[in-house]
Amino acid sequence: MLGTLQPPRTLSRFPLYLTSRPVTLCTLTAQSPPSTSPAHSQILSIRHSLLTRQVTAAQLAESYLSRLRLTEPHLKSFLHVSDSDAVLRQAALLDQRIAGGEDVGPLAGVVVGVKDNICTADMPSTGGSRVLEGYRPAYDATAVRKIKELGGIVVGKTNLDEFGMGSTTEASAFQVTANPWDVSRVPGGSSGGSAAAVSARQCVVSLGSDTGGSVRQPASFCGVVGLKPTYGRVSRYGLMAYASSLDVIGCFGSSVADTGILLHAISGHDRLDATSSKREVPDFASQFASINLLESKPLKGLRVGVIRETLDEGVDAGVISAIRGAASHLEELGCSVTEISLPSFSLGLPAYYILASSESSSNLSRYDGVRYGNQAVADELNSLYGDSRAKGFGPEVKMRILMGTYGLSAGYYDAYYKRAQQVRTIIRKSFKTALDENDILISPAAPSAAYKIGEKIDDPLAMYAGDIMTVNVNLAGLPALVLPCGFVEGGKVGLPVGLQMIGAAFDEEKLLKVGHIFEQTLQNCRFVPPLIEDDTAW
Amino acid sequence: MMASTIFRSIQNHPLLLYQTALFRRKNGVFYCTMKSTEAQTATQEKQKPPLPKIMKQTKTSDKFSKDYEAVIGIETHVQLNTLTKAFCGCPYNYGSPPNTSVCPICMGLPGALPVLNSKVIELAVKVGLALNSKLSLNSKFDRKQYFYPDLPKGYQISQFDVPIASGGYIDLDLPVEFGGGHRRFGITRVHMEEDAGKLLHSENGSYSQVDLNRAGVPLLEIVSEPDMRTGIEAAEYAAELQRLVRYLGVSNGNMQEGSLRCDVNVSVRPIGQAQFGTKVEIKNLNSFSSVSRAIDFEISRQVLLHSQGQGDQITQETRLWEEGAQKTVTMRKKEGLADYRYFPEPDLPGVILTKEYVNSILDSLPELPEVKRRRYEKMGLSMQDVLFLANDVNVAEFFDATIAKGADVKLAANWIMGDIAAYMKNEKLTINEIKLIPQELAELIASIKGGTISGKIGKEILFELLAKGGTVKGLIKEKDLVQIVDPVEIEKIVDKVLSENPKQLEQYRGGKTKLQGYFAGQVMKLSKGKANPGLLNKILLEKLNAQS
Ligand SMILES: [Zn+2]
């Protein structure tokens, strides 16, 4: 398979290849031989082909770079692409080590995209904001450092809504990223660049960040797997803070196994992050059993709760039917599926926006133009601050800073911030109860599939409402896995829909196991966007 | 160097920072940095000649002052002497070149996170316990938000509604020269926070530069109850805090370096009135004497306004002490209450103390100044001596070690306060830097008391010991200084002197008895100072008065 990973010749003919295709219903065929092969782990394949010398890291890197070059003009998922010589040099170094029989890390030769609000030494890191235009950090974020140490190659910095504030990636100060499934649509956000890049195979895996759904919603929109780890599982050191008590670095991959392997690589306690957990990190990869080894009811006894409130009014019928389909798929796999209610669910959205805005109003204070980033010319201190920030921040960021400043102000603190914290406690408790009675909870990752660019740009409330499925999970600090489970109509070939699986704190292992089995048994669904469909590697 | 690439001054874009703008910082005054290594205490300072009174108003208000009472509270910031800063691994050394002790964390770079240095908690608990405060077993950090160029994150990590320690008191004894007396002042709270950096202003004021070496250095803010009534009481409160932190070893307490900084609140009310007057905050107090003088000035100013029926002219404001002019001037008027938008610091977990931890620290506390003073008092020392000895923890330890070796308490005190203190002052040495060790001082005192050497020889030996060290026994032996206590030997010397001075002897016997001193001197000289003075005089008198 990987032998064909040469520069894809057909891509040059894009966009002629956006031929229409009927929307398919995915089916479960756990026993019968698959009609289309399920998603496989690119990371494991790469490792295998490198170690068996079927391909070199340099060839691999070159193939990703050339696909990136071809697709990037249509997608604009990257704010910065690494110098290709530098990438190829790193790859060549790996090849030397492999040739010399040296041990190489589990991410050797894996081309990784990194969301631009995650610091990379000597590479621009702007957070998608003018205020940090041209800023190059002095250090690598812990997650990036770990990836590099394990052999991963950072291929570039992906686009995002400014400082992670947004759900479409349209709030980037620099460019709008397109959805590989339909370039007239948004990739979701705020990690839209990272999701689009993996979807279009511009990189193998990517890092995103998730404060209220910023990994899961774009994963759903772009038809890739997105993993939001438990709060504290991954060090936040080097992640530009948006809302510190909610922020987590998350993983994108084209298979559950890839996100699990990437999570394993970046997890663990970090002495530079006081909120990172000291819990042991299980070897998530060990459970990615091959489909052939699965018994007939591989998830027998697993208790799955479908959150009733997430399949309510305001959710697209197509999304609801895809989730219901996924629920029956899980039942077929042996799960006992019941519908459960989380009465506090609807409280999550307002509580989230108060808490996240409040924290962001504080976290963004450091962008004052004094020490780094863009500094306005001013003849007086208040103007220096005012002008640097007025010119540096975009409207969405300004709005959230204002909302957050308001919510923390004397006289309003009790009514807003404090109350929202109380709501958060209630939400945490209701999830705890639900997860005591169920192994996992499921819901859509977003109320709809990807919408058109510009569609919600003037309607922030509608955009905020789109986060309803995801914000509660951040408030509760829980892990959640989003994986494509079906399609709805839209675009030329249909638009992917993501299933969200929510687990108990630090139980990513279970989510990955269930997600992997779900993915391996889902048939007639191929989550490769039309943009690169002709590339036979997928 | 990271510092040179990342650090950026506002130089590129000249900024007119007017004096008023400079002091717009809301949590503290901008401290100028005078270099001085001399530690000082309130008591020592007061021995300086008093500054000329240049405020005319003082006289005018003096006659009214008996009708008014001042109410004074103090906020003190104490820099903790941890090896590294509060939330990062940078060391802090006062006086380092700008931005040489900085990292992504204390510079507030994007993505950097604070991690608490646990030593800060330990030192805070020590101070809380020493101030008889109640410790919060569950406290937390909060963000105090305001913009200023010396505050890299745009917020200061501090503690708001749940400080690590609250309530408590501090005991002190006022200096004898100010009438003496014991005082107990209440402590409202003690909380942990981080220091800000410093602004360096260009000479022509056209631009300012930021030095972040101090940013993130751990501080304790200690807030007093409004229990003080005079400048002296306030200065002594601050001096006692300094003594306390030095005894505890948690800070060098140096005011010139800004390791201990006091902001005072002063209000005045007619005696008998329960309600407080309008309070004025005074900043820029770089010594205990400036604390005392600034407060006295401010009291006079406010009393004068009250007595002239202009009490309403006293507004809630921050005033600056001008050392040169010896007066306070308006720095900024309070425009309502500043809103710092405090909220819990989400980057740091709560601070949880266990009872065992607190008890282990309690057990490790040294003897504190108040306890030491009471003990010295019980030993029979005068309050003057008590205050001198207990003022400096190292002096007190030296004294304690000396008497632990069996030295006479009063004699040990006299030696330390007299010749040893004078020597230290002349040579500009601390007691830890002199070569004399407590054991030898005890030996010296015993040798004099036991008659082995005379007091005069004792002094000689002392200076030898102070400068070069060594042992009393060794020096006595080396220099053959043992006192002559054998009457026969002394008698021989006396006889020799008398026989060599027949003329003076005749005069003496003729009635000029004052010459006794001359003879005594000659005998002492001949004995090389070793003759026991008592014996010498006894034998000399006998011989002089003997009938020939
Ligand atoms: Zn530092």
Residue-wise pLDDT for B193-209, tens only, equals 999 999 998 888 788 89
Inter-chain touch B113–A273, beta carbons under 8 Å? yes
Model confidence at B11: pLDDT above 50 = no
- Whole-number Å distance between alpha carbons of B211 and B199: 6
Residue that the structure tokens 């070793």 belong to: B530
CA distances from B461 to A225, B417, B445 (A): 86, 17, 11
Question: Is B154 in contact with A365 (Cβ distance < 8 A)?
Answer: yes
Instruction: Out of A45, A63, A77, A115, pick the active-site residue.
Output: A115
Cis upstream peptide for A194 (omega within 30°):
no
Q: In this structure, are strands B182-194 and B218-224 parallel, antiparallel, or unpaired? A: antiparallel
Is the pLDDT at A2 greater than 50, yes or no?
no
Per the CB < 8 A criterion, the answer to whether B500 and B471 are in contact is: no
How many domains does one find in chain A? 1
Is residue B547 pLDDT above 80, yes or no? no
Q: How far is the CA of B443 from the centre of ligand 1 (A)?
A: 50
Tell me the sheet residues that pair with A529. none
Q: Which two tokens stand for residue B103?
A: 């990292």
Of A244, A378, A410, the CB nearest to B339: A410
In this prediction, residue A287 has a pLDDT band, given cuts at 50, 70 and 90, of confident
Q: Is the pLDDT of residue B312 over 80?
A: yes
The 10s digit of each residue's pLDDT in B275-303 is 999 999 999 899 999 999 999 999 999 99
Beta bridge partners of residue B165, listed in sequence order: B135, B190
Of the candidates B163, B143, B164, the one whose C-alpha atom is nearest the C-alpha of residue B155 is B143
Give the pLDDT confidence score for residue B22 in this predicted structure: 33
Q: Do A138 and B24 touch (CB under 8 A)?
A: no
Strand, helix or coil for residue A342 = coil
Listed range (A8-12, A354-358, A373-377, B428-432) with the worst mean pLDDT = A8-12
Residue B19: what are its φ and ψ, rounded to 5°? -50, -45
Cis peptide before A484 (omega within 30 of 0): no
H-assigned helices in A100-191 = 142-149
The conformational region for residue B181 under phi > 0 = left, psi -120 to 50 = alpha, else beta, is: left
Q: To the nearest whole percent, how much of chain A has pLDDT over 90?
A: 81
A67, A201 Cβ separation under 8 angstroms? yes
Name the 3-class secondary structure at A71: helix
Q: From the CA of B93, how far away is ligand 1's center (Å)?
A: 12
Q: Is A220 a catalytic residue?
A: no
Question: Mean pLDDT for chain B?
Answer: 87
User: If we measure between CA atoms, which residue out of A200, A159, A162 comes closest to residue A179?
Assistant: A200
Q: Are strands A205-210 and A248-253 parallel, antiparallel or unpaired?
A: antiparallel
Q: What is the CATH number of the domain that holds A191?
A: 3.90.1300.10
Tens of pLDDT along A387-422? 999 999 999 999 999 999 999 999 999 999 999 999
Contact B6 A366 (CB under 8 A): no
Provide the 8-state DSSP code for B87: S
Q: What is the pLDDT of residue A269?
A: 98
A323 touches chain B (CB under 8 A): no
Mean pLDDT (chain A, rounded): 91
Clarify whether A190 is annotated catalytic.
yes
Instruction: Give the model's pLDDT for residue B137.
Output: 97
State the pLDDT at residue A535: 62
Band of pLDDT at residue B452, cut at 50, 70 and 90: confident
* Residue A40: band (very low, low, confident or very high) from pLDDT cuts 50, 70, 90: confident
3-state class percentages of chain B: helix first, strand second, coil last, to nearest 5: 40, 20, 40
CB contact under 8 A, B113 and A371: no
Asked if A137's CB is within 8 angstroms of B110's CB, the reply is yes
CB-closest option in B6, B7, B341 to A408: B341
Closest to A334 (Cα-Cα) out of A59, A52, A30: A30
Spatial separation of the C-alpha atoms in residues B397 and B392, rounded to whole Å: 9
Per-residue pLDDT tens digits for A215-244: 999 999 999 999 999 999 999 999 999 999
Closest to A63 measured CA to CA, from A23, A117, A108, A8: A8
What predicted TM-score, i.e. pTM, was given to this entire model? Answer: 0.88
- Mean per-residue pLDDT for A304-326? 95
Q: Which of A248, A365, A384 to mutate to test the interface with B (most CBs of B within 10 A)?
A: A365
List strand residue ranges (DSSP E) for A184-299, in order. Answer: 205-210, 225-228, 248-253
Interface test with A, best of B9, B341, B345, B348 (most A CBs within 10 A): B341
pLDDT, residue A157, reads 98
- With respect to residue A382, please indicate whether it lies within any of the assigned structural domains: no
| Measured CA distances, A213 to A139, A167, A435 (Å) | 27, 8, 20
Q: Are B32 and B256 in contact (CB under 8 A)?
A: no
pLDDT at B192: 98
| Closest Cβ–Cβ partner in A118, A368, A375 for B154 | A368
Q: CA of B108 to nearest chain A CA: how many angstroms apart?
A: 7
Q: Is residue A390 part of a domain?
A: no
Nearest-angstrom CA–CA distance, B156 and A228: 30
Choice between B247 and B17, residue whose per-residue pLDDT is larger: B247
Judging contacts by C-beta atoms under 8 Å, the chain B residues touching residue A417 are 343
Strand residues in A419-475 grouped as ranges (E): 440-444
Return the half-sphere exposure (C-beta side, CA atoms, 13 A cut-off) of residue A364.
35
Q: Domain B487-546: which CATH class?
A: mainly alpha
CA B276 to chain CA centroid, Å, is 30
Closest chain A CA to residue B1: A138
CA of B182 to the centre of ligand 1 (A): 43
Residue span of the structural domain in which A495 resides? 38-347+421-532
Residue A361 covered by a domain: no
Q: What is the rounded distance in angstroms from the CA atom of residue B437 to the CA atom of residue A321?
A: 89
Query: Do the Cβ atoms of B15 and A380 come within 8 Å?
Result: yes
A408 contact residues in B (CB cutoff 8 A)? 145, 341-343
Per-residue CA distances from B160 to A355, A363, B190 (Å): 19, 18, 11
ipTM: 0.93
Tell me whether A496 touches chain B (CB under 8 Å): no
**A138 touching B (Cβ < 8 Å):** yes
Rounded CA-CA distance B198/B215 in Å is 8
Which residues of chain B make contact with A138, given a CB cutoff of 8 A? 2, 5-6, 104, 109
Cβ neighbours of residue A314 closer than 8 Å, sequence gap 6 or more: A447, A465, A468
Residue B5 pLDDT > 50: no
- Mark whether A49 is an active-site residue: no
Residue A26 banded pLDDT, cuts 50, 70, 90:
low
pLDDT of residue A465: 85
Tokens 């699965």: give the residue.
A294
Averaged pLDDT for residues A335-345: 96
Residues of chain B within CATH 1.10.10.410 domain(s) are 487-546
Do A300 and A308 form a contact (C-beta atoms < 8 A)?
no
Per the CB < 8 A criterion, the answer to whether A41 and A261 are in contact is: yes
Q: Is the pLDDT of residue B68 over 50?
A: yes
Does B394 score more than 50 pLDDT? yes
Interface contacts (A, B; CB < 8 Å): 132
Among A168, A63, A87, smallest CA distance to A451 is for: A168
Token pair of B498 as six digits: 């008398």
Given the residues A82, A125, A190, A191, the one annotated as active site:
A190
From chain A residues 411-450, the ones with a CB under 8 A of any chain B CB are: 413, 417
Nearest to A236 among B113, B145, B349 (CB): B113
- How far does the centroid of ligand 1 lie from the alpha carbon of residue B89, in Å? 6
Q: Quick one: pLDDT at residue A439?
A: 98
Residue A3 lies in a domain: no
DSSP, collapsed to helix, strand or coil, labels residue A307 as strand
Q: Smallest Cα–Cα separation from A355: which of A236, A474, A248, A468?
A: A474
Question: Is A274 in the B-facing interface, judged by CB distances under 8 Å?
Answer: yes
What's the average model confidence in pLDDT over A447-476? 91
CA distance B294 to chain A (A): 30
pLDDT for residue A12 is more than 80: no
pLDDT of residue B15: 33
pLDDT, tens digit, 9 for 90 and up, residues B149-207: 999 999 999 999 999 999 999 999 999 999 999 999 999 999 999 999 999 988 887 88
Option in A132, A358, A385 nearest B147 (CB)? A385
Residue A473 token pair: 């999970």
Give me the mean pLDDT over the B340-352 stretch: 97
**Ligand 1 centre distance from Cα of residue B102 (Å):** 4
Contact A106, A149 (CB under 8 A): no
Among B6, B15, B143, the residue with its CB nearest the CB of A372 is B6
CA of residue B6 to ligand 1 center, whole Å: 13
Token pair listed for B364: 């490790």
Question: Is the pLDDT confidence value at B58 over 60?
Answer: no
- pLDDT at B43 exceeding the cut of 50: no
- B456: tokens are 């005069």
